[in-house]
C-alpha cells in the first residue's frame, strides 16, 4: 500500500559494496562439516551392517557344506568298511574274478623254495 505521505526517491547504490559476513561463512562450513561427519558415520554403520549380514550368510553356507561333507565322509567310511571285510572280498573274488581256494598241489611253502 502506498501512503500519500511517502515520497519516493530513486536510490543510487552504485558506490555501496557489500561486505562478506565471515561469521555466516564459518557457520556454513561448521554445519557442512557436521553433516559430512554424520553422513560418513551413517555410511560406515550401513556398510558394517551389510558386511555382517553377508558374512553371516557365508558362514551359514559353509556350515551346511561342512555338515554335508561330514555325512559323505561317514557314508564313505561305512562303505569302505563293508568292502574291506574279508568275507565280502572273498565273495567278490569268486563271483567277479572266478577265483577259488588253491588245492594242496598248488600250495608252495617257503621251506620248499629256499635252496
Tell me the pTM.
0.53
pLDDT tens for residues 10-60?
777 777 777 778 899 899 999 999 999 999 999 999 999 999 999 999 999
Q: What is the pLDDT of residue 2?
A: 65
The three-point CA angle 47-52-54 to 5° equals: 95
How many domains would you assign to the chain?
1
| Within-domain flag for 91 | yes
- Which H helix or E strand runs over 62? helix 22-84
| Within-domain flag for 50 | yes
C-alpha cell at 46: 550401513
The confidence band for 102, taking pLDDT boundaries of 50, 70 and 90, is confident
Q: What is the pLDDT of residue 115?
A: 65
| Within-domain flag for 34 | no
Sign of CA dihedral 99, 102, 106, 111: positive
| Within-domain flag for 86 | yes
| Within-domain flag for 64 | yes
| Within-domain flag for 82 | yes
Q: DSSP for 75-110?
A: HHHHHHHHHHSHHHHHHHHHHHH---PPPTTT---H
Domain enclosing residue 56, as ranges = 46-95
| Within-domain flag for 53 | yes
| Within-domain flag for 115 | no
d(CA 62, CA 55): 10
Amino acid at each position: 500500500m502506498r501512503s500519500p505521505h511517502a515520497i519516493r526517491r530513486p536510490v543510487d547504490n552504485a558506490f555501496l559494496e557489500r561486505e562478506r559476513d565471515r561469521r555466516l561463512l564459518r557457520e556454513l562450513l561448521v554445519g557442512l562439516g557436521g553433516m559430512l561427519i554424520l553422513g560418513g558415520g551413517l555410511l560406515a554403520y550401513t556398510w558394517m551392517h551389510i558386511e555382517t549380514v553377508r558374512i553371516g550368510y557365508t558362514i551359514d553356507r559353509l556350515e551346511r557344506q561342512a555338515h554335508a561333507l561330514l555325512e559323505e565322509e561317514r557314508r564313505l567310511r561305512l562303505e569302505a568298511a563293508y568292502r574291506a571285510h574279508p568275507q565280502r572280498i572273498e565273495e567278490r573274488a569268486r563271483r567277479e574274478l572266478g577265483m577259488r581256494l588253491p588245492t594242496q598241489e598248488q600250495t608252495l611253502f617257503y621251506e620248499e623254495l629256499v635252496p
